Amino acid sequence: MSYDEVEIEDMTWNEKLQAYTYPCPCGDLFQITKEELRAGEEIARCPSCSLYITVVYDPEDFQDEAPPEPEQEAGGRPADPALAEIEVH
């Protein structure tokens, strides 16, 4: 059973965690990412205890957001060499 139902508008976007957060009674934060919301997830979990909350939101608000693109260097190559394609000469 969910500890509580919380509107997404009552949660805080945490840039460091890249997740919406809400205070947990244990002192930590319930967390849910945009990717989880896009996938239809509605449960935000606390990483420090067994509690979780149900997030009330409109899934359509998150369907239009595209995942972040890899950073590009000048010339259109990915900044991360692991993402670069092997060029054949």
Distance CA 41, CA 51 (A): 16
Separation between Cα atoms, residue 51 and residue 49, nearest integer Å: 6
State pLDDT tens for residues 37-71. 999 999 999 999 999 999 999 988 888 655 555 55
Q: Which residue has the tokens 């809400």?
A: 22
Domain ranges for the chain, please list them: 1-61
Query: Mean pLDDT over all residues of the chain?
Result: 84
H helices within the chain, ranges in order? 34-38, 60-63
Give 74's pLDDT tier (boundaries 50, 70, 90): low
- CATH for the stretch 1-61: 3.10.660.10
CB proximity list for 9: less than 8 A, separation 6 or greater: none
